[in-house]
Chain A
């Protein structure tokens, strides 16, 4: 029964919640006649005003400045000193002579406080859900018309009240409450719930302290849980990708939709040079240099944790982008901060929620255009796979064999063999998600517990990710203390597909079959021959059947368990003074296993002594422990009527240590013996354990101050000093700061008169932050022992590199100006212009070898990112009563990256890259760094196309000379991988419970090197499948004007005029650099909320909602490139149910 009551209240409140958006008033003025005031109300709300006009005329003129306050409150304010009172009755405001009786229950009437009456005295306090005191809350006694405000500790005192009197408690941004006095001797405790619609408007959660939006100068975006769920129910990152364009998470063309690959991301552009990273380690303990800092409930967490986080636990996500917002994180904040706040307990009632979904992933192969069996065979014939290309007279024996091979294949083609190899390793992945959460609450003791299971099934057979997670949040309030403990445990297990790389299948020739005529799986799809170019001999050719491997007992798993405990204490010391103490402990363990049995095709070539080495097992084991603690004191002090001061000081300390060990063994004769214990020996080439290890410690002191005047002008500043063990001993401590100013223009009188802007906030900020995403011991001089050599029987140690005691964090200066606006409550938006200059960028500084070492880590580079971010949303229709609204939104970011200076630090690196580019067998563009050039620049030689005369590519040297000779030194910047503009647009709406959301993402103005054209057309390995364009777009004979060079060999004229036949491999030229403009339907979702249905109540349900999502439905791209080469992309469908009991 209790539950039913709550349901009614909830439904009622939510109607109010949505409704209040339209029922708020923004008004300011001095001595405005009442008539004018009501005209404004009518205009802003559309409500009619009824009443005796004499009441208006006789009323006093009003001087008031309010912004976005509920209509009811506003009416209360203006009628406070009047002889009339106001009442709202279904979109109508009635003016009445002040006569107390006969008012409806839910109407609050405000009159001047009348303390003359005698009665009891009652005290109490008002808090928000978090238990924080609500200063300035209005307490009105219905009977006596007495009104008081709560003091700075949220306390109030009323005289002359009796048991049974009803109090009306109102505060801006909170749902109003009416409470009957039951016992005047007892102190009353009133908790106001936040008014949902204004939740995101009031407070910005920075992870350390909450900041008032009205006086916050930072650029931050807050995304609520509802918004996240509008896009996807998959994971947080998937949703953020669409909702926050400044967080650049681009699709990985190689990994596609592999559920076990962590996305790479950066906020507002690239600001670190790639460091020599350790590869082949499975754990997530290394650092990706551009990755933002993730803060979950106040403490740093790994990206894995964020990806695996149950979305239902999330309350809100705040992305801190500029210095004002993020400088409090000091030396770790340069890449931006993503603050995730989980749900804390809310009401006092027991609530059980179930969320479940069934997910389907379907492979998306629309970007592949491979030849079919007949086309492939024809391409091979044209290429010369069945003829001898040599200067020698043809060998007839050879020719016979080649002809036989051709005829065999032709027979297969003619008999209808056209194997769809790509479909073999793929499936429609069926996954599921379940989550149950329980909220229990008494006045002082509250519990929120949840359990979730997430099973993601990727589109490659056997590829999956399973995550079990559970968490419990317990909070207890005692007097001025609040204790909260969040304990969470995650168990993740991922399996990679035993089918191997998708590219292994895509390259198979369609005239091959995986099964022999008896239906058995073949080891080799074909054992054939291939002619050697330039000679009359032939070679054996094996095409291993990748499907064969899938039948073996391969094991590719990665497990981790993570335990996090966060403890939080909050104490109200005196008025406005609050102390926060937090501690966190994280323990992560992981184990990865890679087992390939002896009969796996990768061991096919092992013979002789190596026979017993067949079969391999690699195991990685690792763990990480992190302790963090911080302590903050903040002080809120109103100075007079207009000024507000906020100060926070704090300190933090943290230690993180990780260790990972990997060892390899070999010799597993049978694929059933899939445990490392069955190994014959350690691996021949990795015969000892390897791994990595690191410990870092940080200390920091933080202070924040913020000041606002008259809610119009405000400024804030922060300063942080951080010390870290990662920095060189000469620079252990770094200082980071920020300063910002802002102006709420909408609160200016002249602006209010315009009646256009509900919000027009201008803000500007500047500040410095740092990043230290580098390995733990880079500043130290360290020795390592020779492991494979001894001298006279003694061990020896040698220096690993040069110490750099001056090593310090990368420092990023951020400049940001922005405006937030809202026009007629319809159009809201924000615009930010930023510039960030990263100094002391860590580079491998090339040293003269006489120092003994080729390079040292130095802080040298300087990188600038400039950009514009814009977000707009327009509310087309809104009818909160029926839960109906419709709005459209769009957001975009433009970012430009440039290297300002790296002096000659990376010369050696660039030379190395040139060497690679000159390599005849390299056909991917190399990455080079030069002053004044973007870090995302694509370097290639300019090409004039294919010479119609001889099929050779004509290059243009740096000096504009035509040549057939490729030289890496002629490489110039021919494009930029970073899109000029990327963003999203979409629409969302709800109508009587039906919801529709659609989001498109787009990017344009960037370029990409079309590797597909190189790998599958020009440099195609003709023994395997190729792109269709091989057939009709390649040069065949003199006179052909074609975009692609000849298949196979070409006649090349020598300087002496003679001709030679040559195979020419394609090297990086701008012929393959194409504009990349893309449009994707990132998300389309439909939902239905059963709130109007009576059966819910009978079933004891408070809420029932169903939703259907599709993600990544299609991508239209201007560049015809294969997407998802190692793992295909997928289209995702999901049906979800959410029920609250």
Chain B
């Protein structure tokens, strides 16, 4: 009897038993199973981009929807509008709560997915192609920092240069592990340090491989396995210049102008060689199929949002769902405000050739200018691209940095570059003699014109700490700029 018992125990006790009790599901793939191959890492990485395309975040709310409503980008027709309360910064209204909370949970969900890749990939480092390892991990770490930084720009503090108290305030958790353990909320300083750390690590990993053209690298002797064309369109992936551009954003947010200049400069010089270039005039193509409304050659990082227009259409259409009645959900510009912004009355010749005024508005009445940035015609060559970081922003960052460093003259040159590339005649170049305040005002105008429906304007105001902004009489302070952290977060994390 004893012998049998010993036998049973022996059979059972050891690893065989443990293995026998570990079962991998068929309808789903266990994490361990997926990461047994490089393909698995690729699939998981692509999965994170797909998650980012959710309409709750970058597919709509973080770009076209909530964030630009908060930036007062649109004319608000009345209280029946779905974003009415958001435009009044009533963060306790259910419609606003769910939208802002979705951005929070959506981004952290992507972060969890990224963390699982980042935490696992080092284990397989030796068995992976070094280029795949570096690029996958680099993209994942870069995105993790990018997403966290966007969360900070939304739920954290701005205007840090003037009110550094925001850095000592406990704000958001910087989550870098896939686990059910709750990450405590970090101070602004610690949080942004983590952002910078991740970005620089990502840059280190990718610099060698991603600069950015695949053919380019083969010539440099670095072989990137691209038989499956996995690295073909780097614009739609978090590439090396996207990292640098994000760094520029972060440094500017922190008021580290010299570092911001360095990063932005690299993007506009080297990046323009490999990745991006100013719109060559395709916007003027009379055939709407070939109109590049988002200036996609200028995308440093954009998302491939499938069937993007289906979701955006109800917000930019002239008519409601029945095709007849007024669209009460419209996100559009008021003609008066737009004309004012483009100085149509004061400088008639200047903006009439500006692509953004000429091509991106559908002026259906003197008060209602529909936005065409995300409009779509069947078979459009430029569909399904959601710009996340664009080249002009780098010029604005440079302009702002030089201006803040009391060199408005240099600042003006960067602004003029963008303006010329937007079709404004050099005759209307901003004079190099503009004062600091005027340059700042011009930069603000550019943000308002260029980044319509891209979710950046609110961050701009917040970063600058503007007390008043166009479009609202609301006194803008931290009560408005710092969106409340979701209730679920504060409740569940036990006040961490």
Say whether A and B bind each other.
Answer: yes
Q: Which residues of A contact B32 (CB under 8 A)?
A: 781
**Which single member of A649, A693, A800, A856 contacts B26 (CB below 8 Å)?**
A693
Bound together, the chains give a CA A725 to CA B492 distance in angstroms of 30
In Å, the complex CA distance between A832 and B159 comes to: 71
Q: Nearest Cβ in chain A — how far from B301, in angstroms?
A: 13
- The residue among A701, A795, A796, A849 with the most chain B CB atoms within 10 A of its own CB is A849
Contacts of B491 in A (CB 8 A): 848, 904, 907
How many CB-defined contacts (below 8 Å) exist between A and B?
Answer: 194
Residue picked from B110, B112, B178, B492, most chain A C-beta under 10 Å: B492
A1030-1055 residues with Cβ-Cβ distance < 8 A to B are none
Task: Check A782–B21 contact: CB distance below 8 A.
Answer: no
Please provide the chain B residues from 15 to 60 with a CB less than 8 Å away from any CB of chain A in the complex: 17-18, 20-32, 34, 40, 42-51, 53
Contacts of A795 in B (CB 8 A): 43, 46
Whether A851 pairs with B44 at a CB distance below 8 angstroms is no
User: In whole angstroms, how far apart are the Cα atoms of A624 and B230 in the complex?
Assistant: 41
Contact B46 A850 (CB under 8 A): no
- A908's partner among B42, B180, B488 (CB-CB below 8 A) is B488
The one of A633, A659, A780 that contacts B31, using a Cβ cutoff of 8 Å:
A780
Is there an interface contact between A701 and B8, defined as CB atoms closer than 8 Å?
yes
Q: Known: A794-B230, A798-B47, A854-B105. Contact between A725 and B22, CB under 8 A?
A: yes
A1118 within 8 A of B: no
CB distance from A808 to the nearest CB of B (A): 13
Q: Tell me, in angstroms, the Cα distance from A408 to B493 when the chains sit together.
A: 65
In the bound complex, how far is the Cα of B49 from the Cα of A355, in angstroms?
Answer: 67
Interface residues of B in 89-131 (CB under 8 A from A): 101, 104-105, 108-113, 115-116
Q: Which of B30, B31, B236, B489 sits near A848, CB closer than 8 Å?
A: B489
**How many angstroms between the C-alpha atoms of A659 and B178 in the bound complex?**
30
B435 within 8 A of A: no
Residue interface bits A775-817, CB-to-B below 8 A is 1, else 0: 0110011111110011110111111101110000000000000
Closest to B151 in A: A850
**Are A796 and B43 also in contact (CB < 8 A) when A699-B12, A701-B8, A783-B29 are?**
yes
Proximity string of chain A (676-701) to chain B, C-beta cutoff 8 Å, 1 when within and 0 when not: 00000000000000011111110101
**A723 within 8 A of partner (CB):** yes
Q: Are B22 and A846 in contact (CB under 8 A)?
A: no
Q: Assess whether B105 is in contact with A785, with CB atoms less than 8 Å apart.
A: no
A796-B48, A904-B491 known; A852-B175 Cβ under 8 A: yes
Does A1113 belong to the interface (CB within 8 Å)? no
Q: CB within 8 Å of B: which of A845-886?
A: 845-854, 856, 858
Q: B113 — which chain A residues lie within 8 A by C-beta? A: 798-799, 852
User: Is B453's beta carbon under 8 Å from chain A?
Assistant: no
A1119 within 8 A of B: no
Q: Is B179 an interface residue (CB 8 A)?
A: yes
Q: Are B492 and A729 in contact (CB under 8 A)?
A: no
B47 touches A786 (CB 8 A): yes
Q: Is A1131 an interface residue (CB 8 A)?
A: no
Q: Which residue of A lies closest to B237 (CB)?
A: A792
Q: Does B486 contact A (CB under 8 A)?
A: yes
CB distance from B115 to the nearest CB of A (A): 8
Chain A residues closer than 8 Å to B175, beta-carbon distance? 850-852
Write out the residue numbers on chain B whose beta carbons fall within 8 Å of the beta carbon of A853: 109, 112
A784 vs B49: C-alpha distance when bound (angstroms): 14
Which residues does chain B contribute within 8 Å of A693, judged by CB atoms?
Answer: 25-27
With A693-B27, A782-B31, A851-B182 already in contact, the answer to whether A792 and B233 are too (CB < 8 A) is yes
Question: Chain B's nearest CB lies how many Å from the CB of A570?
Answer: 15
Question: Does B202 interact with chain A (Cβ within 8 Å)?
Answer: no
Interface size for B (C-beta < 8 A) is 68
Interface string of B138-149 (1 = CB under 8 A from A): 000000000000
Residues of chain A within 8 A of B111, CB atoms compared = 852
C-alpha gap A693/B28 in the complex (Å):
9
Residues of B within 8 A of A850 (CB): 104, 108, 172-173, 175, 182-183, 489, 493
Nearest residue (CB) in B for A806 is B180
Whether B427 is near chain A, meaning CB under 8 Å from some CB there, is no
Report the minimum CB–CB distance from A688 to chain B (whole Å): 12
With A696-B23, A697-B20 known to touch, is A797 a contact of B44 (CB < 8 Å)? Answer: yes
Given A783-B28, A783-B31, check contact A792 B304 (CB 8 Å). Answer: yes
* In the complex, chain A residues whose CB is within 8 Å of the CB of B489: 848-850
CA distance A847 to B183 in the complex (A): 11
B324 at the interface (CB under 8 A from A): no
Q: Does A1079 contact B (CB under 8 A)?
A: no
Cα–Cα distance between A694 and B25 once the two chains are bound (Å): 7
Q: Among the listed A577, A785, A800, which residue makes an inter-chain contact with B43, where contact means beta carbons less than 8 Å apart?
A: A785
The one of B8, B20, B24, B178 in contact with A651, judged by C-beta atoms closer than 8 angstroms, is B8
Decide if A724 is an interface residue (CB 8 Å cutoff): yes
Q: How far is the CA of A789 from the CA of B51 in the complex (A)?
A: 10
Q: Are B29 and A782 in contact (CB under 8 A)?
A: yes
Contacts of B490 in A (CB 8 A): 848
In the assembly, what is the distance between CA of A635 and CA of B50, in Å? 63
Confirm or deny: A1097 has a beta carbon within 8 angstroms of a beta carbon on chain B: no
Interface positions, chain B 339-371, Cβ under 8 Å from A, are none
- For the complex, is A409 an interface residue (Cβ under 8 Å from B)? no
Instruction: Contact check, B21 vs A789: say whether CB atoms are below 8 A apart.
Output: no
* Interface residue ranges of A809-850 to B (CB < 8 Å): 845-850
Question: Is B14 part of the binding interface, using a Cβ–Cβ cutoff of 8 Å?
Answer: no
> What is the bound-complex CA distance between A850 and B103, given in angstroms?
11
Query: Residue on A with the closest CB to B29?
Result: A783
A911 nearest CB across to chain B (Å)? 9
State whether the Cβ of B9 lies closer than 8 Å to any Cβ in chain A.
Answer: yes
Give bound CA distance, A701 to B40, whole Å: 38
CA distance A776 to B492 in the complex (A): 27
In the complex, chain B residues whose CB is within 8 Å of the CB of A799: 31, 112-113, 116, 178
Contacts of B473 in A (CB 8 A): none
Say yes or no: B108 contacts A849, CB within 8 Å.
yes
Does A777 contact B48, Cβ atoms closer than 8 Å? Answer: no
Chain B residues with CB below 8 A from A794, complex form:
42-43, 46, 230
Q: Which residues of A contact B479 (CB under 8 A)?
A: none
Contacts A/B (CB < 8 Å), 23 sampled: A577-B1, A631-B8, A649-B1, A649-B5, A723-B21, A729-B22, A780-B31, A785-B47, A791-B49, A792-B46, A792-B233, A792-B236, A797-B34, A797-B47, A798-B50, A800-B28, A802-B180, A848-B488, A850-B175, A850-B493, A851-B108, A852-B105, A904-B491
Add 8 more A-B contacts to A649-B5, A694-B25 (CB < 8 A): A777-B30, A780-B24, A781-B32, A781-B178, A783-B29, A791-B306, A796-B49, A803-B31
Nearest 7 A/B pairs, CB to CB: A852-B112, A796-B47, A796-B46, A849-B105, A782-B28, A781-B31, A848-B492
